[in-house]
Structure formats: structure tokens, C-alpha cells
Amino acid sequence: MDPVTIVVVVMVIATALTFDFTNGFHDTANAMATSIATGALKPKTAVIAAGTLNLVGAFLSTEVAKTISGGMINEQIVVIAPEYIFAALVGAIIWNLFTWLVGLPSSSSHALFGGLVGAVIIGAGAAGVNFEAVLTKVLIPALISPVIAGLASWCAVKFIYLIVKKIDQQKMESGFRHGQTITACLVALSHGTNDAQKTMGIITLTLIAAGMQTAGTGPQLWVVGCCGLAIALGTYTGGWRVIRTLGKGLTEISTTQGFAAEMSSATTILVSSHLGFALSTTQVCTGSIIGSGLGKKGDPVNWKVAGKMVIAWLVTFPCAAVVGGAACALAKVGLGGTIAVAIIGLAVAFFIYRMSRRSPVNANNVNDSGEVKINATNKVAKAA
């Protein structure tokens, strides 16, 4: 194997683990936002628990990883160079950082898939993409899963309030607060079984493309361990902006509603991971929170914030595809083009980080605001 290919493969693996890290801090909110918002868990305790369970969950299943490494891309038909995958990852990381900056719980999964599809189309042609797998394993679950989770959460809230209506309010809140500790941990565990696997699939696909692994095989143990650790470390950093949006921006929820939402999310994600569906845990958890808000009278859903989330979901896949395709057009020129993509990506990431320091959100102020100001996008545009 020539040295240039080895260098590119190393760059791809490092970038994939970086994406996994951003996925962790971007999606911490999926598991812990409701528990933090209701006070069931202290913010720092919540992220430690979520990080640990993400790591454990990464070892429980590899079905989603196999969907990505051996289902979405037709590596048997066309030659998929590692440079294409690198370009896709850079696009997904930039999208993750941007949506984190403005506090939008968009889909890290769809950012990754969109970037991958766009890069492969530009690099190898449309024949390189298995559109049937993309439709059945990614896009259709993306439409169905939040509805199922929301309906399940709505039913759970209605059922819970029906059977506990004669119980003392304070005792009920205390009991479900303890229950939320368990359900939040289940969501974190399920998140590891689904999201960590996406990066495993990407690294496995890279190794197959470079001829370092046989096509059709699953992720190696060292890949599973590295991806689990990366997403766990990312989760530990918090992702407080997105936690604020999900915990406080959509609706004010009680511990009872939080319990129902988390249980619905965990069940949906675990079943999907078992079936190999690479769904968006962000969309599942958002659907559950909206369902819990609709399930109790007097807790209106902030449809303005929900609408902005839906718009973000709709544009994530195509926008990431465009960015991934543009990055691939530069990266396929050669090693110099790949390095140029890396430099541009680092510059954009640094700019976003600097913008985030103007209005920091952390464990101390994550619950301060009940209305999330997602119009930070305008500030970014002006600053640019």
C-alpha cells in the first residue's frame, strides 16, 4: 500500500473519531435534557452517566454499523476512495458545530449520511450509492420514528396521569424523579447502541475502501472501542446549548412527562438498533418530548421552536450532501486537496468556537432560560 493512501486513511480515522466526539456533545441532550430540566439529575452527574452508558452501549450491537459499511454504499460496483469519506466527515462536523452554536438539535446522523452520499456521488458517480438502502434504512425511519415515539409518549403520559390522579402530587413527583434516573440512563445506553455505530461503519467502510479489510465484514474490536470512547468523551463535555433547547425550549415538562418521554425514546431507539435502522436519536427524543407536552393539559408546546427544528431536519441531509460533494471535489485532486479540505474545516470550526464564547452556555446556566434564542444564526451571519 502506498504511503499517500496510508496518510489519508489515518486522516479519515482521526476525522471520523472527531465527528464521533461532536456527535456525543451534540446529542447529550437526547438522553439527559428532560432529566436536567426537571431536576431529576444534576447537570454534571447527568453528562457523566450519559458518557459512561454511551461507551457501554457501543459494545452491545453492530447492526447499524453493518448497514453503513455494507449497505448504503456500493463498494462492490465502484471504487470508493478514502478521500471521499474524509470529505463527507468534514461536512458533517461543520454542520454539527453550526447547529450546536445556534442551539438546534439537528440530526448528526443525517449530516453524516448526507455528506457521505454527496461525496460519493461527486467522487464515484450516482452508481456508488445504494439509494434503496438510504430510503429504507435512513429516510423512511427518519419520518416514522419521531411520530411513533411522540405517540407512545403521549399515550404514556395519559395512562400515567389516569392511574396516579389520586396520589399525592409531591409523592408522585418524587417517585417519578427517581424513575427518570433510570429512564435517562436507558436513553443514554440506547444512544450508544445506535449513534456510536455510525462512526464504526464509516471507519470500517474506509478500511474496506483502502483494501485493509474484506468487504461485507463488520467493525473490528479496536474500531468499536475507539468509537465508543470518542462518543463517550464528547457526551461528557455536555453540549449545553442543545440541552437547553430540548429541556426548556419546547415545553415545560414535569418529572412524570420526562419519565414517559425517556421511556418512549429508549424503546424506539433500542428496537431500531436491533433492526439495523440508522435513525436519528435527536428526532426520536424530540418527538417524545412534544408528545409528552401534548399529553398534559396546560403545558403548551412551543411550536415556533419545534418548527425551526423541523426545518433543520429537512435541510440537514441535502445541505450536508452539498458540503460533502464540494469537499470531495477538492479532496479528489490529490493529497494536497485533501489537506486543503482539512485546513478549511479547521478554520471554520475555530470560527464557530470563537462565536460560541460570546454567549457561553454551561452546567451553571443551562436551565436559566425557558425560551431558547435560536436567532443566533443572524449574529453569525453579521459577524461573517
Q: What is the pLDDT, as a whole number, of residue 351?
A: 93
Long-range contacts of the stretch 340-348 (C-beta < 8 A, 24+): 341/86, 341/87, 341/90, 342/11, 342/15, 342/86, 342/90, 344/90, 345/90, 345/93, 345/94, 348/94, 348/97
pLDDT confidence of residue 235: 80
**pLDDT tens digits, 221-260:** 899 899 889 888 888 876 677 777 666 666 777 788 888 8
Indicate the helix (H) or strand (E) that contains 276: none
- The Cα diameter of the chain in Å comes to 72
Give percent above pLDDT 70 in the chain: 84
b/e for 70-107, b at 16 or more Cβ within 10 A? bbbbbbeebebbbbbbbbbbbbbbbbbbbbbbbbbbbb
Take residue 73 and report the three cell numbers written for it: 454504499
Q: Which has more confidence, 358 or 151?
A: 151
Q: What is the pLDDT of residue 366?
A: 63
- Higher per-residue confidence, 27 vs 289: 289
Q: Which pLDDT does position 29 carry in this prediction?
A: 62
In this prediction, residue 238 carries a pLDDT of: 65
* pLDDT score, position 290: 87
Q: Report the sign of the C-alpha dihedral through residues 299, 303, 308, 311, in that order.
A: positive
> Quick one: pLDDT at residue 309?
79
How far apart CA 113 and CA 108 sit, in angstroms, is 9
Place of cell 398534559: 296
15 against 136, higher pLDDT: 15
Q: What is the pLDDT confidence band of residue 78, given thresholds at 50, 70 and 90?
A: confident
The answer to whether the beta carbons of residues 191 and 54 sit under 8 Å apart is yes
Taken as a whole, the chain contains a residue count of 384
pLDDT band at 292 (very low <50, low <70, confident <90, very high): confident
Q: Say how far apart CA 205 and CA 329 lie, in whole Å.
A: 20
Alpha-carbon distance of 231 to 195, in angstroms, equals: 8
Phi-psi region of 216 (alpha: psi -120 to 50; beta: other; left: phi over 0): left
Residue 369 has pLDDT above 70, yes or no: no
pLDDT, average across residues 364-372? 56
| Look-up of cell digits 476512495 | 81
Q: How far apart are CA 9 and CA 203, in angstroms?
A: 9
pLDDT for the residue 250: 67
Q: Average per-residue pLDDT in the chain? A: 80
pLDDT higher than threshold 70 for residue 36: yes
Strand partners, 129: 73
C-alpha cell at 66: 453493518
| Candidate ranges 247-261, 296-310, 322-336, 348-362; pick with highest mean pLDDT | 322-336
Helix (H, G, I), strand (E, B) or coil at 285: helix
**pLDDT tier, 54 (very low <50, low <70, confident <90, very high otherwise):** confident
pLDDT-based confidence at residue 374 (cuts at 50, 70, 90): very low
**Residue 67's pLDDT band (cuts 50, 70, 90):** low
φ, ψ for residue 367, nearest 5 deg = -100, 10
- The pLDDT tens digits of the residues spanning 332-350 come to 888 889 899 999 999 998 9
pLDDT in tens, 171-229: 777 778 778 888 888 888 887 777 777 788 888 888 887 888 887 777 888 998 998 89
Provide the pLDDT for residue 326: 92
Q: Please give the residue that has the higher pLDDT: either 126 or 64.
A: 126
Residues 6+ apart with CB under 8 A from 109: 138, 195, 198, 278, 279, 280, 281, 282
Tens of pLDDT along 127-177? 888 888 888 877 888 788 888 889 999 998 888 888 877 776 677 777 787
Whole-model pTM? 0.75
